[in-house]
Amino acid sequence: MDMAQETAQEPTPSFALGEDQKAIYEMARDFAQNELAPKALEWDQEKHFPIDVLRRAAALGIGGIYVGEEHGGSGLTRLDAALIFEALATGCPTISAYLSIHNMSTWMIERFGDEAQRERWVPGLCAMDLLGSYCLTEPSAGSDAAALKMRAAAEGDTYVLNGSKQFISGAGSSDVYVIMARTAETGAAGISAFVVEKDTPGLSFGANEKKMGWNAQPTRLVICEDLRVPAANRLGAEGQGFKIAMAGLDGGRLNIGACSLGGAQAALDKAVAYMRERQAFGRRLVEFQALQFKLADMATELEAARTLLRRAAAALDRKDADATKLCAMAKRFATDIGFKVANDALQLHGGYGYLAEYGMEKIVRDLRVHQILEGTNEIMRLIVSRKILDETA
């Protein structure tokens, strides 16, 4: 190949942050340290969902990060959002993750809704006067989301919904539910998306689940029993619901990966501080070369995950053809590495890492679920492998 021709190709994007992006990250980091970190353990232990704090976050523009300014959002990029969620997670991964889900739901309404739907719900969601939830998973349809069974039967200018959704973050507290339901027996092509308000007759919720982590946000069953929703509440056309759900998940996967990075960074920072003070065999832990090497590996893996995630976010902003593949790669890698780094940081604390008061075990508990939600990491591997095989066919 001609060298001049080769060097003329567009280079791989660089992820050195601009001044505006640094300011965005610092704004979110300051909020995390001042508003989230001081209360994170208490919220976890008391299973308290701090809606007042969420609304203070919304006052900074965090309720609709990549929603257009004309609809009350901040009009930022997916890369900006990744920076924000990573920064917030340094204070509390649970709250950062709920904000991720809320943003995903809000964007779906803005992106796929009509003007009347946008005017009705999006400004309130961006201000977090309204809280949003995303409802895809069912008791018998998790990874195989296209097999969902909730029915939406058309009756005149309404739909009647029957069925349930499982593991729904914010359920019972949220005001707006983006629900995927079956309108035809044609697999993924028979799924449609609906916006359902909390006070709709026929909508109810299960008990708040007892979970390993994520205790500062509620997780409940969402139950629809002869729930009648106007056809005007359907997002897009009939049969577009699965595509809408998957479009939301591209960004959602980046966001949850960013939450893993932030939680892991906080864990690493705690480990370094602890090792500077803790002594064993007459020396501080940081003086042992084996432990120095462990820190180096943790920091290197975390930086590699961060770089991949930011590359995927930039690809999604550009609407690159390989964006979905990169988002799946980034989600799998960032959540696996995030959990590993947090778990290693707990190990470096010894027995103290296992005590709640040090905050380490909470981070480990919170990050574990990131390898499961927004598509399990096994499903991420399936997405990536299928894309590779399609590209090489």
Kindly list the catalytic residues. Answer: 374
* 324 close to 372: Cβ distance less than 8 angstroms: no
- Look at strands 279-280 and 283-284 and give their pairing: antiparallel
**Cβ of 157: how many Cβ atoms within 10 Å?**
8
319 burial (CB, 10 Å; 0-12 / 13-18 / 19+) is exposed
**CA 66, 106, 54, 87: dihedral to nearest 10 degrees?**
-30
Token couple for 63: 């309720």
- Look at strands 191-197 and 151-155 and give their pairing: unpaired
Q: Which residue has the tokens 């983006």?
A: 178
**Cβ of 94: how many Cβ atoms within 10 Å?**
30
Tell me the sheet residues that pair with 283: 280
Token couple for 26: 């610092």
Altogether, the residues listed in the chain come to a count of 393
55 burial (CB, 10 Å; 0-12 / 13-18 / 19+) is middle
* 268 close to 276: Cβ distance less than 8 angstroms: no
